Structure 1
């Protein structure tokens, strides 16, 4: 073996040994976030990545993987051994009921304030009381949008059978369906609402109409190494810093979101401003990670209502608070 080859070989051995000795919290890891780059829930992760908060806290997050739904997010997390994922509670509960070894480790989005239900400007519908006999859009069966649509209808003193529920397949698809008259009311969540609000008229806003409902949560798989557990703790701390930054610097945060989500700057800024100021019964939209049991229990009941989950569920039994900073470990 030539001396240069021997030198390269020795260097490779040394590098490999150093990598093996590195704590996992310093190694590169991906995290998985439902609808990242599309829905408002994941915006703090874009800020944490751009501002370097992950690295500051000791988590070398190399990528944020997106997926189109809760079940897909969990499959991606478990299949790819990602230490942490953000997902809707019903997907977590369904997975646990099927035997998945996962726990809720942070309560990330505490309300559904991103939801607005809108009509065309010339529509005679002024409020949920006027929905009888109307076509009400929702995305897919057993979805959060269907559950919330049911609550909106009930808020107007009506029953679900008093309206015609129409599946559109997605929020983006609901907008042309509204334009074409296929539906009379469409759910338009942020940041879509900030983009299209000049074109439509809101008849209901979740922030004003609905109580705090757990929206998305952070989850981690059981049986992880101590280093990966430290990584999860660091991700939670970094996201918390991002939420604080967004509240103090909404326009700069909006610019970061615009780049990560491929949005117009004014749309992203408007969306961030709206959501950092949106409170429901004093509860803010983006949480610090602290578990709000009342909102989690409410999410369970809402999802039961549309058949997304079934059976008796003890919310406390699916939560693990040991990853949270000491000052927010106590459940609310």
Structure 2
């Protein structure tokens, strides 16, 4: 953990150089044309960004978003944002909490994913011993600081599972699947994009059925970038909000874009989009219940009760048509 935190602090120093470049003579151009870092971009996190680009929701506000740069979850996506020319990211909320504790604070300028749909834990279908959460002995998550790590703590708690559990970091989603196939763990996260292509996995824990609200990811930047480029940040968050509204009204178009992006058939993509809508998966606004649940999970991971988080949220960048309520302890 100390090594990860040191890397985050080093990344913050690198970010200062990037931000300095954005604030120079070419700052206006740099601040309005950039790539977006997105945790596990092959999964539903990417859909609002794909829709926003396709429908011109960012461009009509003067922002050009180029590539969606994938992270591998956890602190890796935070470091990806801090160490490169990626001023804004859709990143795991628990990773933002960890980076703040490590001395590299970030600014949360919008919500993003507010459910844990897509973070279900699967066993091999051939593993007849593991049928429910109470059967899990070896549980893989992706990376330290990730939402999946927090889920391995809070899901047994809410489900009343009391058996001893050995938790292990796989290093990523694909690596977790490899551990499953090797028989080294009982369950691991298998994302919808993989499940859509095979029938060799069986869901054991449907995370969203246990946790109705959970702030899984947030739209994040550095405080320096937000202060220097407030209109750019507002444009990105508003464009994301427009994309979420569009997805609800036009799920078929969203499914087509997602199917093309990750190379799955449209029927499977449509099922993923419909399920995400069912779980109220995306919002540019702040949901106090989702935030509280995620903070509680992270407190369990870090074994502490004094985790500070309220100062990370910046309401002034939210458009007027999204919720802006924070947990009671922040008001």
Q: Which residue of 2 aligns with 1:200?
A: 201
Contact 2:196 2:268 in 1 (8 A): yes
* Structure 1: tracts of 5 or more residues without a match: 1-19
Measure, in 1, the Cα distance between the counterparts of 2:98 and 2:27: 36
Whether 1:31 and 2:26 are equivalent positions in the alignment is no
Q: 1:300 Cα shift?
A: 2.0
TM-score (norm 2): 0.79
Q: 1:70 to 1:327 in 2, by over 3 A?
A: same
Q: Which residue of 2 aligns with 1:299?
A: 294
Write the deviation string for residues 30-64 of structure 1: whole angstroms up to 9, x where unpaired: 3322232x232222111211222211232122333
**Larger Rg over CA atoms:** 1
Paired residue secondary structure (1:126): coil
Contact 2:131 2:204 in 1 (8 A): yes
Write the deviation string for residues 233-288 of structure 1: whole angstroms up to 9, x where unpaired: 111111112112222222221221122234343332322222122x2xxxx1111x
Paired residue secondary structure (1:169): coil
Paired residue secondary structure (1:328): coil
Q: 1:223 Cα shift?
A: 3.3
Paired residue secondary structure (1:223): helix
1:321 aligned to which of 298, 315, 324: 315
Whether 1:153 and 2:156 are equivalent positions in the alignment is yes
Measure, in 1, the Cα distance between the counterparts of 2:132 and 2:84: 45
Measure, in 1, the Cα distance between the counterparts of 2:245 and 2:55: 12
Q: What's the Cα RMSD here? A: 2.9
Misfit runs of 4+, over 6 Å: none
Structure 1 residues 62-81: aligned runs within 5 Å = 62-80=66-84
Q: 1:320 Cα shift?
A: 0.5
Whether 1:42 and 2:43 are equivalent positions in the alignment is no
Work out the number of aligned pairs and report it: 301
Paired residue secondary structure (1:201): strand
Q: 1:135 to 1:311 in 2, by over 3 A?
A: closer
Whether 1:286 and 2:278 are equivalent positions in the alignment is no
TM-score (norm 1): 0.78
Q: Which residue of 1 aligns with 2:60?
A: 56
Q: Which residue of 1 aligns with 2:8?
A: none
Q: 1:101 Cα shift?
A: 5.0
Q: 1:102 to 1:178 in 2, by over 3 A?
A: closer
Q: 1:185 to 1:90 in 2, by over 3 A?
A: closer
Measure, in 2, the Cα distance between the counterparts of 1:264 and 1:253: 13
Measure, in 1, the Cα distance between the counterparts of 2:74 and 2:188: 22
Q: 1:301 Cα shift?
A: 2.1
Measure, in 1, the Cα distance between the counterparts of 2:31 and 2:154: 45
Structure 1 residues 88-237: aligned runs within 5 Å = 88-122=92-126, 123-131=128-136, 134-159=137-162, 161=164, 163-196=165-198, 198-224=199-225, 228-237=229-238
Q: 1:311 Cα shift?
A: 6.4
Q: Which residue of 2 aligns with 1:14?
A: none
Measure, in 1, the Cα distance between the counterparts of 2:82 and 2:166: 38
* Structure 2: tracts of 5 or more residues without a match: 1-24, 327-331
Measure, in 2, the Cα distance between the counterparts of 1:188 and 1:89: 20
Q: 1:314 to 1:125 in 2, by over 3 A?
A: same
Paired residue secondary structure (1:286): coil
